[in-house]
Amino acid sequence: MTTQTTDLKTLLKDPTLLQTRAYVAGAWIDADDGATFEVTNPARGDVIARVADLSRAEVARAITAAAGAMTAWTARTAKERAQILRKWFDLMMENQEDLGKILTAEQGKPLAEAKGEIAYGASFIEWFGEEAKRIYGETIPGHQPDKRLTVIRQPIGVVGSITPWNFPNAMITRKCAPALAAGCGFVGRPAAETPLSALALAVLAERAGVPAGLFSIVTSSRASDIGKEFCENPLIRKLTFTGSTQVGRVLLRQAADQVLKCSMELGGNAPFIVFDDADLDAAVEGAMASKFRNNGQTCVCANRIYVQAGVYDAFAEKLAAAVEKLRVGDGLTEGVTTGPLINEKAVAKVEEHIQNALAGGATVVTGGKPMQGLFFEPTVLTGITDAMQVSTEETFGPLAPLFRFDTEAEAITRANDTIFGLAAYFYARDIGRVTRVQEALEYGIVGVNTGIISTEVAPFGGVKQSGLGREGSRHGIEDYLEMKYICLSI
Ligand SMILES: NC(=O)C1=CN([C@@H]2O[C@H](COP(=O)(O)OP(=O)(O)OC[C@H]3O[C@@H](n4cnc5c(N)ncnc54)[C@H](OP(=O)(O)O)[C@@H]3O)[C@@H](O)[C@H]2O)C=CC1
Ligand SMILES: O=C(O)[C@H](O)CS(=O)(=O)O
């Protein structure tokens, strides 16, 4: 690690965006016992903040306040709610540079990418501010002459939210925006690695006019405790989680006791398939975008790259050349394309997958080794087989493993041979093949001739063990509404 330290406040135009206390029931609070936890810059290893370390008691207060604030919030018109969300969006975009610097400092992604995440995160607040005005009901032709049937949709209640470190802004807004638009209260617990982006969001929520108590950010190093509070507190009507499938299973088990409605955005193992008839240069561009975005730390990153035999060597050569142009370094340094991994566990996992592949006969085309601190050489391996760990486990790092295949049917079978089903990608130009493959892949999201699929206007989510529900799009608000059927006898 460098000896350089990160004095974030001096980097910000508006230093008040950097908060270290939790935002609970409309107030900025320390933990009742004064406890704090450290936030470090993964690029430099230095401590950039000490943040309030809340326990269940403070979180319970946030939940109670959210329930209390819902009454007035749902009494407002949809237009008033929409206007406040629009103001929040505007404030996020006005402060995009500062929010990006805070995000880079605590998560590591290059500033340009962090600013891109701020725009992506803000887009959910803009989108659901608009959707707030379109929560329609139904009238149904009565089943008897004296019956008048209607269906109305009402906010589900207080939402508990748990989010990961890899998108510390967008994963929260992808949840809180539809929740608030639907009229719900919201209590968000960000990952301990990246709480500062969430707290900066709360600063701007307050400025935008989000009512005190409706929206809280509860920072804590005690993830399991907070998860239990969300699952056991009867005022919580909805749990929304983004993170690993392993933790998703724990939460679903805990949620069962109260039959708590859950949305789960979980792990992935995305196949990226390159057919003989693909535009190879486009396929390399798509593979670079999908694989190395956020240094490979996204749930929709290409995790397995299948290349048809006829173009395997050419693709491997082109991909390696593109990978060698990546510039690894501190995300706050101009021109850096690839930041550090989030922690030592992440570095160890990438190294484990590489060593396992090499032991099985794979070959390093470029990269392959850890660098100083949490940095890792962007890596391309050839000779990957289905017996290797990288075939069944999500690497969550800068490793591009190339599998060879012969036929279309083989590619589909191998691509689907996983417990996950979040995102898949393929490059081909034959219209018959494109149609067959896009329909045969068992995934919630399929990118055809593109490696980037994320947008607020489309439904994001997985099948199989990649999750439950969809976020974003006109569907994303459904998970925060309950349908009420009214049968009026006249
Ligand atoms: N489908 C999707 O959209 C996404 C999926 N993921 C998946 O998550 C993994 C990487 O992210 P990572 O953060 O390591 O995932 P984790 O599942 O370990 O953590 C996700 C969040 O859950 C918290 N958490 C951990 N254990 C518990 C628990 N027992 N009860 C309540 N909360 C808990 C974490 O807190 P803390 O970090 O403080 O320990 C973090 O805030 C990958 O598998 C990736 O694919 C990640 C992002 C998006
Ligand atoms: O956490 C993730 O990986 C995100 O869900 C992926 S995306 O929505 O930013 O593409």
Enter the tokens of residue 289.
């975008």
- The pLDDT assigned to 6 comes to 80
Question: 377, 328 in Cβ contact below 8 A?
Answer: yes
The pLDDT tens digits of the residues spanning 22-68 come to 999 999 999 999 999 999 999 999 999 999 999 999 999 999 999 99
Note if 377 is an active site residue.
Answer: no
Of all helices (H) and strands (E), which one includes residue 308? strand 302-308
Nearest one of 400, 303, 401 to 361, comparing CA atoms: 401
How many CB atoms lie under 10 A from the CB of residue 91?
A: 20
The pLDDT tens digits of the residues spanning 191-218 come to 999 999 999 999 999 999 999 999 999 9
Axis crossing angle, helix 431-440 with helix 408-416, rounded to the nearest 10: 20
Architecture in CATH of 8-266+466-487: 3-Layer(aba) Sandwich (3.40)
> Domain ranges in the chain?
8-266+466-487, 270-448
CA-221 nearest atom, ligand 1: 38
- Which residue in 131, 265, 394, 471 is the catalytic one? 265
SS3 (DSSP) at 448: strand
**Assigned superfamily of 270-448:** Aldehyde Dehydrogenase; Chain A, domain 2 (3.40.309.10)
How many CB atoms lie under 10 A from the CB of residue 364?
A: 17
Which amino acid would we find at residue 126?
E
The pLDDT tens digits of the residues spanning 233-283 come to 999 999 999 999 999 999 999 999 999 999 999 999 999 999 999 999 999
Question: 228, 213 in Cβ contact below 8 A?
Answer: no
pLDDT exceeds cutoff 70 at 337: yes
Q: Which stretches does DSSP call E strand in 370-411?
A: 379-384, 399-405
Cα–Cα dist 422/454, whole Å: 12
Cα–Cα dist 24/205, whole Å: 12
Strands 36-40 and 47-52, sheet pairing: antiparallel
pTM (predicted TM-score): 0.97
Closest residue by Cα to atom 5, ligand 2, is 299
Give the list of residues 6+ apart from residue 97 with CB closer than 8 angstroms, or none.
13, 115
Ligand 1: centre distance to CA 401 (Å): 24
Ligand 2: centre distance to CA 96 (Å): 19
Ligand 2: centre distance to CA 228 (Å): 25
Task: Write the DSSP assignment of 173-192 as a string of letters.
Answer: HHHHHHHHHHT--EEEE--T
For a substitution probing ligand 1, which of 166, 169, 193, 466 has the most ligand atoms within 8 Å of its CB?
166
- Pocket flag, ligand 1, residue 60 (CB < 6 Å): no
Pocket of ligand 2 (CB under 6 A): 166-167, 170-171, 242, 298-300, 454, 460
Question: 45, 1 in Cβ contact below 8 A?
Answer: yes
Enter the tokens of residue 239.
């749990």
CA-268 nearest atom, ligand 1: 45
Question: 22, 58 in Cβ contact below 8 A?
Answer: yes
For a substitution probing ligand 1, which of 162, 163, 343 has the most ligand atoms within 8 Å of its CB?
162
